[in-house]
A and B are shown apart, each in its own frame.
Chain A
Amino acid sequence: MQNIDWERFGPMLTQAAGETLYMVGIAVVVGGFFGLLIGLGLYLTRPGNLLENRLVYTLLNVAINIVRPLPFLIFVVALGPVTRLVVNRIIGIEAFTFAMCVVAAFASARLVEQNLVSIDPGVVEAARAMGASPWRIVRTVLVREALSPLILGYTFLVVGVVDMSALGGFLGAGGLGDLAIVHGYRQFNWSITYVVVAVIVIGVQLVQMVGNWLSRRIAGR
Chain B
Amino acid sequence: MSVPIISFRAALKVFPAAGKRPEVRAVDGVTFDILAGEIFGVIGHSGAGKSTLVRLINALEKPTAGSVIVDGIDLGGLSESKLRPMRAGIGMIFQQFNLLQSRTVAGNVAYPLEVAGWPRARRRKRVAELLEYVGLSDKAKARPRQLSGGQRQRVGIARALAASPRILLADEATSALDPETTRDVLELLKRINRELGVTVVVITHAMSLVRHVCDRVAVMAEGKIAEIGDTYSVFTSPSAEVTKRLVETALSDRPSASMLERLRTQHPGRLITVGVHDNAAPASVSPSAEIFGLLRQYNVDATVIYGTITEIGERPFGSLTIEITSDPGNLSAIDRAVNALAAIAPVADHGAVIAALPTFTGRQLLSGLPAAPAIYTPSGEEPQ
Taking Cβ atoms with an 8 Å cutoff, the residues of A that contact B are: 120, 122-123, 125-133, 136, 140-141, 144-145, 147-148, 218, 220
From A125, A136, A144, A148, contact of B100 by CB (8 A): A144
**Is the pair A123, B115 in contact by a Cβ cutoff of 8 Å?**
no
From A125, A130, A147, A148, contact of B111 by CB (8 A): A130
**Is the pair A220, B143 in contact by a Cβ cutoff of 8 Å?**
yes
- Chain B residues with Cβ below 8 Å from A123 are 98-101
**Is the pair B84, A133 in contact by a Cβ cutoff of 8 Å?**
yes
A126, A128, A144, A148: most-surrounded residue (chain B CB, <10 A):
A126
From A129, A133, A136, A144, contact of B92 by CB (8 A): A129
**Is the pair A131, B94 in contact by a Cβ cutoff of 8 Å?**
no
Q: List 22 A-B contacts (CB under 8 A).
A: A120-B98, A122-B96, A122-B98, A123-B99, A125-B98, A126-B92, A127-B111, A129-B58, A129-B60, A130-B115, A130-B159, A131-B88, A131-B89, A132-B84, A133-B84, A136-B115, A140-B111, A141-B100, A144-B100, A144-B102, A145-B102, A220-B102
A123 to B159, CA, bound (A): 13
- Chain A residues with Cβ below 8 Å from B368 are none
* B189, chain A: closest CB distance, angstroms: 17
A136 to B116, CA, bound (A): 12
For window 85-105 of chain B, which residues contact chain A by CB distance below 8 Å?
85-90, 92, 94, 96, 98-103
**Is the pair A147, B102 in contact by a Cβ cutoff of 8 Å?**
yes
Q: From known contacts A125-B60, A126-B92, A220-B143, infer whether A131 and B116 are also in contact, taking CB-CB under 8 Å.
A: yes
**Is the pair A131, B115 in contact by a Cβ cutoff of 8 Å?**
yes
A178 to B99, CA, bound (A): 50
**Is the pair B143, A132 in contact by a Cβ cutoff of 8 Å?**
no
Residue B112, interface by CB 8 Å: yes
* B10, chain A: closest CB distance, angstroms: 24
Closest to B113 in A: A130
- Chain A residues with Cβ below 8 Å from B101 are 123, 145
* A153, chain B: closest CB distance, angstroms: 16
- Chain A residues with Cβ below 8 Å from B100 are 123, 140-141, 144-145
For window 241-268 of chain B, which residues contact chain A by CB distance below 8 Å?
none
A122 to B143, CA, bound (A): 17
- Chain B residues with Cβ below 8 Å from A120 are 96, 98
- Chain B residues with Cβ below 8 Å from A147 are 102
* A101, chain B: closest CB distance, angstroms: 29
- Chain A residues with Cβ below 8 Å from B60 are 125, 128-129
A141 to B98, CA, bound (A): 11
Q: From known contacts A144-B102, A145-B101, A147-B102, infer whether A126 and B115 are also in contact, taking CB-CB under 8 Å.
A: no
* B153, chain A: closest CB distance, angstroms: 13
For window 218-236 of chain B, which residues contact chain A by CB distance below 8 Å?
none
* B178, chain A: closest CB distance, angstroms: 20
The 4 nearest A-B residue pairs measured at CB: A131-B88, A126-B98, A122-B98, A131-B87
From B84, B99, B102, B143, contact of A131 by CB (8 A): B84
Taking Cβ atoms with an 8 Å cutoff, the residues of B that contact A are: 58, 60, 81, 84-90, 92, 94, 96, 98-103, 111-112, 114-116, 143, 159, 163
A136 to B90, CA, bound (A): 19
- Chain B residues with Cβ below 8 Å from A127 are 111
* B103, chain A: closest CB distance, angstroms: 8
- Chain A residues with Cβ below 8 Å from B98 are 120, 122-123, 125-126
- Chain A residues with Cβ below 8 Å from B84 are 131-133
* A221, chain B: closest CB distance, angstroms: 9
**Is the pair A131, B85 in contact by a Cβ cutoff of 8 Å?**
yes
- Chain A residues with Cβ below 8 Å from B159 are 130
* B107, chain A: closest CB distance, angstroms: 10
* B83, chain A: closest CB distance, angstroms: 8
**Is the pair A128, B87 in contact by a Cβ cutoff of 8 Å?**
yes
A147 to B116, CA, bound (A): 24
* A149, chain B: closest CB distance, angstroms: 11
* B92, chain A: closest CB distance, angstroms: 4
**Is the pair A132, B115 in contact by a Cβ cutoff of 8 Å?**
yes
**Is the pair B88, A130 in contact by a Cβ cutoff of 8 Å?**
yes
* A176, chain B: closest CB distance, angstroms: 37
- Chain A residues with Cβ below 8 Å from B163 are 130
A148 to B102, CA, bound (A): 9
- Chain B residues with Cβ below 8 Å from A144 are 100, 102-103
* A146, chain B: closest CB distance, angstroms: 9
A103 to B103, CA, bound (A): 33
A140 to B98, CA, bound (A): 14
* A87, chain B: closest CB distance, angstroms: 38
- Chain B residues with Cβ below 8 Å from A128 are 60, 87
- Chain A residues with Cβ below 8 Å from B102 are 144-145, 147-148, 218, 220
Given contacts A144-B100, A145-B102, list 20 more A-B pairs with CB under 8 A.
A120-B96, A122-B94, A122-B98, A125-B98, A126-B94, A126-B98, A129-B58, A129-B87, A129-B90, A130-B87, A130-B92, A130-B159, A130-B163, A131-B87, A140-B111, A140-B114, A141-B100, A144-B102, A144-B103, A148-B102
- Chain A residues with Cβ below 8 Å from B58 are 129
A129, A133, A148: most-surrounded residue (chain B CB, <10 A):
A129
A120 to B111, CA, bound (A): 17
A123 to B102, CA, bound (A): 11
- Chain B residues with Cβ below 8 Å from A131 are 84-89, 112, 115-116
